Chains A and B, each alone.
Chain A
Amino acid sequence: MPIRELVVTYDFPTDLHLGPQHPGIHGNFAYILKVDGEKIIEAKIVPGYLHRAFEKLMERRTWINNIALIPRVCVPEPDVNEYAFNAAIERIAGWEIPPRAKYIRTVVLEMARISAYLMYLASMGGGVGVYPLTQWAFGDRDYILDLFEALTGARVYHIYMIAGGVRRDIPEGWLDKLEETLKYLEGRLKEYDKLVMNSAVVQRRLVGLAPITPEYAMEHGVTGPNLRATGVPYDLRKLDPYAAYDELDFEVVTEKDGDAWARFMVRRREIDQSIDLLRQLIDKLRKDDTPHIHQPYSGLAFKVPQGEAYVHIESTKGEFGYYVWSDGGFNPYRVFVRGPTTSHAGVLMEDIVVGQELADFSLIDGSFDICPPDLDK
Chain B
Amino acid sequence: MVEWLKLVDKARSRSIWMLMYCTGCGAMELPPAMTSRFDMERFGIMPMATPRQADVILVTGYVTKKTLKRIIYAYEQMPAPKWVVSHGSCPINGGVYWDSHATVNRLDLFLPVDLYVAGCMPRAEANMKMFTELMDMIAKGEARGWEEYVKNRDYYKENQRKLFGYDLVFTDGRSAL
Judge A-B direct contact (beta carbons within 8 Å): yes
Point out residues on A near B: beta carbons under 8 Å: 20-23, 27-28, 48-53, 56-57, 60, 68-69, 72, 75-76, 119, 122, 134-136, 138-139, 141-142, 145, 155-157, 373
Q: Is the CB of B101 within 8 A of A155?
A: no
Q: Among B32, B35, B37, B100, point to the contact of A57 (Cβ < 8 A).
A: B100
B70 touches A21 (CB 8 A): yes
The 0/1 profile, CB within 8 Å of A marked 1, for residues 72-100 of chain B is: 00100000000000000000000011011
Query: Is the pair B64, A51 in contact by a Cβ cutoff of 8 Å?
Result: yes
Contact of B64 among A49, A72, A138, A157 (CB under 8 A): A49
Given the complex of chains A and B, what is the CA–CA distance between A145 and B29 in angstroms?
A: 11
Known A-B contacts A52-B102, A155-B123; A21 and B19 likewise in contact (beta carbons under 8 Å): yes
| A145-B32 in contact given A21-B70, A28-B67 (Cβ < 8 Å) | yes
A-B contact pairs, 21 of them (CB 8 A): A20-B21, A21-B70, A28-B22, A28-B23, A48-B66, A49-B67, A49-B70, A51-B66, A52-B64, A53-B102, A56-B100, A57-B97, A68-B96, A69-B96, A72-B96, A135-B35, A138-B32, A155-B29, A155-B124, A156-B28, A157-B120
**Partner-A contacts on B (CB < 8 A):** 19-25, 27-29, 31-32, 34-37, 47, 49, 51, 62, 64, 66-67, 70, 74, 96-97, 99-103, 120-121, 123-124
| A142 and B37 contact, CB distance less than 8 A | yes
* A138 & B96 in contact (Cβ 8 Å cutoff): no
Q: How far is the CA of A137 from the CA of B66 in the complex (A)?
A: 32
- Chain A residues with CB under 8 Å of B34's CB are 138
Q: Given B31, B36, B74, which contacts A136 in the complex, CB threshold below 8 Å?
A: B36
- Which residue, B47, B51, B66, has most C-beta atoms of chain A within 10 A? B66
What total count of A-B pairs have CB within 8 Å?
88
Neighbouring A residues of B36 by C-beta, 8 Å? 135-136, 138-139
Q: Are A75 and B32 in contact (CB under 8 A)?
A: no
Q: Contact check, B121 vs A51: say whether CB atoms are below 8 A apart.
A: no
Residues of A with C-beta under 8 A to B49: 22-23
Measured CB to CB, the closest approach of chain A to B63, in angstroms, equals 10
Docked complex Cα distance between A95 and B79 (Å): 58
CB neighbours of A139 from chain B (8 A): 35-37
Which partner residue on chain B sits nearest A20 by CB separation?
Answer: B70
* Most interface-central of A57, A76, A122 (chain B CB within 10 A): A57
Q: Is the CB of B100 within 8 A of A141?
A: no
> B97 contacts which chain A residues (CB < 8 A)?
52-53, 57
| Chain A residues whose CB sits within 8 angstroms of the CB of B29 once the complex forms | 155-156
Nearest 3 interchain pairs by C-beta: A139-B36, A138-B35, A21-B21
Do the beta carbons of A52 and B100 come within 8 Å of each other? yes
Contact A21 B28 (CB under 8 A): no
Chain A residues with Cβ below 8 Å from B100 are 52-53, 56-57
A27 contacts across to B, CB distance below 8 A: 22, 27
Return chain B residues, CB-CB under 8 Å to A145.
32
Which residues does chain A contribute within 8 Å of B62, judged by CB atoms?
52
Q: Once the chains are docked, how many angstroms separate the CA of A135 from the CA of B99?
A: 38
Q: How far is the CA of A346 from the CA of B62 in the complex (A)?
A: 24
CA distance A68 to B67 in the complex (A): 24
Complex contact A21–B51 (CB within 8 A): yes
Q: Which residues from B are CB-within-8-Å of A135?
A: 35-36
List of B residues within 8 angstroms of A155 by Cβ: 29, 123-124
Minimum distance in angstroms from A70 CB to a CB of chain B: 10
Select which of A23, A122, A157 is within 8 A of B31 by beta carbon: A122
CA A21 – CA B24 in complex, angstroms?
A: 12
A122 to B37, CA, bound (A): 14
